[in-house]
């Protein structure tokens, strides 16, 4: 019997416990898995498993007239069996119908977890436990193994399943949701999501749950700027510090679907997974299909605790282990300073300036390869341009490192320009639909990563390009979404598998990069934050949060991102986007915004005045001295939301509660007024000293709230580095 997962034989009850939550379901009549509760570990659960009878609800004579399949809370709902709500799995069987009824067969509890073939997944630790339950549909000969993996210290449970065709005829999966959760009661509830668009990603949206189906998703071939796989369901009265909150996320980077179905029969069905719009899968006899992993958390302590649960989980179980406890480099990226206008001599001046001012790395962006002097040619030809780098890339990288900084490089492996040698040799290696003219976006098409030959070619090409040396950093970009999503490699009956197989190819290439360049940091980018998801975070310890580096906009983008993802995943740069960098107030404000992630710079540093260079050097010293690890490893608390007020305020608290970094940001000037800042986690019996001013604060004063006077000036920021004394 496990420590966190137990099966009680006396009442056929499965119980999954985390540090603060309990999740339970039971087996009725040896056949059906019925959800009991998902609640606080210390609370006595209220069990609601069967709703009142509703007219016209079918029942099974075998189960009796009090068992209405449409009214019960289910762990794994099938299709066309009298449950009219959304199914977790829909298959078309050899008879041509989609009716299934999955019945319990067996279960096992074991330490650790199973790996997901070809997919990103959360890593186990010494306390991780897994429950595997086998279900079968005897007519279709389809077998499903449900996996529940408990990450107890993070209050997170993961869900996914494997479908196996045990019959003698093919099956087709037509709908696939990794997680399905039925909640009882007609509570007043809201759901929270992170919608957006290019340049304005991850806004926090909170709306009431209405009767019927609501949700979000992506058909773009990526999790996208417009949607995000994270969402939450909470009591209408839930706040940052109190209230029931259920949080969910999907460990996948492609098309997805999230649905919340509120039923008149007093229940809410919550699902997330691949859906059905851009996915189906042909399952031959003997074959298996494993869904991507979904994760969930529950707390009674409000939205703030849900956020901290996910932050801890991502840091400890998703992000690459090799980057966990080492400083992240402060980088100087060349894009906004030079765009495609780069060469060896110019880049070396950037490297020299970076070293002089305390930056750790030069990241050479687009324009170093092939005929890449603009965005109309060269993508796909990953050999260095001999006119720009006459001595080769290794000699250039050695020269950069000789200046005292590391070397990083921009790549976009998944894309191709029609004006490229690779396209002229292999036009069939692009996604496309027979007989239809392919669309372009940013003058590029998408390589068919569902074709193993394409992935193998890319591995060989990058191995050759970087054979003599290993870059310290890759910025991996992906700058368009899918259209005409077909593969010349796949047969006709498997065309609906293209987008999913594409992501498997992408993950394969990412995994190869991690193995081939084990010491390199990979920063993921997709036109900014178009793939800001747990799937990418498995391979990329940080993500280019948005192409929008204007601090006034970044305040909202970063605040929204932190609802679900920890600060260290956000790559945040001080840039020259508005050409105001010489303004000392603007420069300081841009830094105060950017340091609440992984700090970097994106400007023409060699051309900056000596005053600006000295200010940047001081910013970097401060960041490295006492801020970086507090921001990366500290617990995060929201104080004022820029989606609800004209301000943004938040703080990071060290795990031992001895240090607090509080930031207040005000984009636009106003008639001065007082604003109260409350730090709910402060020790009310302690005293704190602000490192910046020397001022002493009583803990009870911080907890109750202290006042700040706002500014008449634009770009006003204030920080407190509080230390217990």
Token pair listed for 387: 């006119």
Helices (H), 278-320: 302-313
- Which residues make beta-bridge pairs with 14? 7, 25
At residue 690, the 3 state secondary structure works out as strand
Q: Which of 547, 656, 683, 690 is catalytic?
A: 547
Residue 190 corresponds to which tokens in the numbers above?
A: 């809201």
Please, which contacts does 685-694 make with residues 24 or more away whose CB atoms are closer than 8 Å?
686/724, 686/725, 687/724, 687/725, 688/660, 688/722, 688/723, 688/724, 688/725, 689/722, 689/723, 689/725, 690/720, 690/721, 690/722, 691/626, 691/721, 691/722, 691/723, 692/719, 692/720, 692/721
Cα–Cα distance, 245 to 563 (Å, whole number): 13
| Pick from 652, 638, 527, 646: nearest CA to 595 | 652
Tally of CB atoms within 10 A around 591: 23
Catalytic-role residue among 155, 477, 496, 533: 477
Gyration radius from the chain CA atoms: 27
How far is the C-alpha of 332 from the C-alpha of 390, rounded, in Å? 23
Backbone dihedral region for residue 29 (phi beyond 0: left; psi -120 to 50: alpha; all else: beta): left
Cα distance between residue 239 and residue 434, in whole Å: 52
Is 360 one of the catalytic residues?
Answer: no
181 in Cβ contact with 268 (< 8 Å)? no
**Selection from 153, 133, 122 nearest residue 4 by Cα:** 153
Percent of the chain as helix, strand, coil, to the nearest 5: 20, 35, 45
Which residues are catalytically annotated? 477, 547
């Amino acid at each position: 019997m496990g420590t966190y997962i137990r099966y009680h034989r006396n009442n056929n009850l499965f119980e999954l416990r985390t540090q603060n939550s309990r999740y339970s379901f039971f087996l009725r009549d040896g056949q059906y898995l019925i959800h009991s509760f998902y609640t606080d570990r210390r609370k006595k659960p209220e069990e609601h498993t069967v709703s009142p009878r509703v007219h016209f609800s079918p029942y099974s004579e075998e189960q009796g007239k009090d068992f209405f399949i449409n009214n019960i809370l289910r762990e794994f709902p099938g299709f066309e069996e009298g449950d009219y709500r959304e199914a977790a799995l829909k298959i078309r069987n050899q008879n041509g119908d989609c009716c299934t009824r999955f019945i319990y067969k067996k279960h096992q509890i074991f330490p650790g977890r199973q790996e997901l073939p070809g997919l990103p997944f959360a890593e186990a630790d010494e306390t991780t436990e897994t429950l595997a339950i086998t279900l079968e549909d005897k007519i279709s000969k389809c077998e499903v193994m449900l996996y529940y993996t408990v990450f107890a210290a993070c209050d997170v449970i993961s869900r996914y399943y494997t479908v196996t065709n045990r019959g003698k005829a093919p099956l087709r999966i037509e709908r696939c949701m990794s997680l399905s959760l039925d909640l009882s009661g007609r509570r007043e509830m809201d759901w929270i999501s992170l919608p957006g668009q290019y340049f304005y990603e991850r806004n926090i949206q909170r709306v009431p749950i209405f009767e019927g189906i609501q949700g979000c998703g992506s058909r773009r071939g990526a999790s996208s700027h417009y949607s995000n796989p994270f969402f939450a369901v909470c009591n209408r009265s839930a706040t940052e510090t109190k209230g029931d909150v259920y949080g969910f996320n999907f460990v996948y980077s492609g098309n997805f679907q999230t649905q919340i179905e509120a039923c008149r029969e007093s229940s809410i069905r919550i699902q997330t997974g691949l859906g059905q719009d851009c996915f189906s899968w042909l399952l031959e006899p003997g074959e298996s299909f494993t869904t991507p992993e979904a994760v969930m958390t529950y707390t009674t302590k409000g939205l703030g605790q849900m956020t901290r649960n996910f932050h801890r989980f991502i840091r400890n179980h998703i992000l690459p282990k090799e980057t966990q406890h080492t400083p992240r480099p402060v980088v100087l990226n060349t894009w906004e300073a030079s765009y495609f206008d780069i060469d060896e001599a110019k880049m070396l001046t950037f490297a020299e300036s970076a070293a002089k001012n305390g930056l750790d790395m030069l990241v050479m962006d687009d324009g170093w390869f092939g005929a890449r002097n603009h965005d109309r040619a060269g993508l796909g030809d990953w050999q260095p341009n001999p006119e720009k780098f006459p001595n080769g890339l290794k000699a250039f990288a050695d020269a950069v490192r000789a200046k005292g900084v590391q070397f990083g490089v921009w790549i976009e492996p998944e894309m191709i320009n029609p004006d490229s040698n690779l396209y002229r040799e292999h036009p069939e290696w692009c996604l496309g639909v027979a007989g239809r003219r392919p669309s372009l976006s940013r003058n590029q098409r998408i390589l068919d990563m569902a074709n193993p030959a394409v992935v193998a070619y890319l591995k060989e090409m990058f191995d050759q390009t970087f054979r003599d040396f290993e870059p310290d950093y890759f910025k991996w970009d992906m700058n368009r979404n899918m259209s005409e999503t077909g593969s010349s490699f796949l047969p006709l009956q498997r065309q609906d598998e293209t987008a999913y197989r594409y992501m498997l190819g992408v993950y394969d290439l990412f995994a190869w990069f991690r193995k081939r360049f084990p010491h390199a940091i990979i920063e993921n980018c997709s036109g900014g934050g178009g793939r800001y998801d747990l799937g990418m975070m498995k391979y990329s310890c940080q993500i280019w949060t948005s192409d929008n580096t204007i601090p006034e906009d970044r305040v909202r983008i970063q605040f929204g991102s932190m609802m679900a993802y920890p600060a260290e995943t956000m790559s945040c740069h001080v840039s020259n986007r508005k050409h105001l960098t010489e303004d000392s107030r603007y420069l300081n404000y841009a830094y105060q915004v950017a340091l609440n992630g992984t700090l970097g710079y994106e400007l023409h540093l060699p051309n900056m005045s000596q005053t600006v260079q000295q200010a940047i050097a001081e910013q970097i010293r401060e960041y490295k001295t006492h801020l970086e690890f507090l921001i990366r490893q500290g617990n995060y608390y929201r104080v004022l939301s820029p989606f609800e007020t004209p301000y943004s305020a938040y703080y990071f608290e060290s795990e031992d509660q001895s240090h607090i970094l509080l930031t207040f940001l005000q984009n636009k000037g106003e008639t001065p007024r007082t604003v109260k800042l409350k730090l709910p986690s402060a020790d009310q019996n302690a005293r704190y000293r602000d490192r910046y001013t020397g001022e002493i604060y009583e803990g009870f004063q911080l907890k109750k709230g202290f006042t700040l006077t706002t500014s008449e000036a634009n770009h006003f920021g204030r920080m407190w580095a509080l230390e217990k004394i």
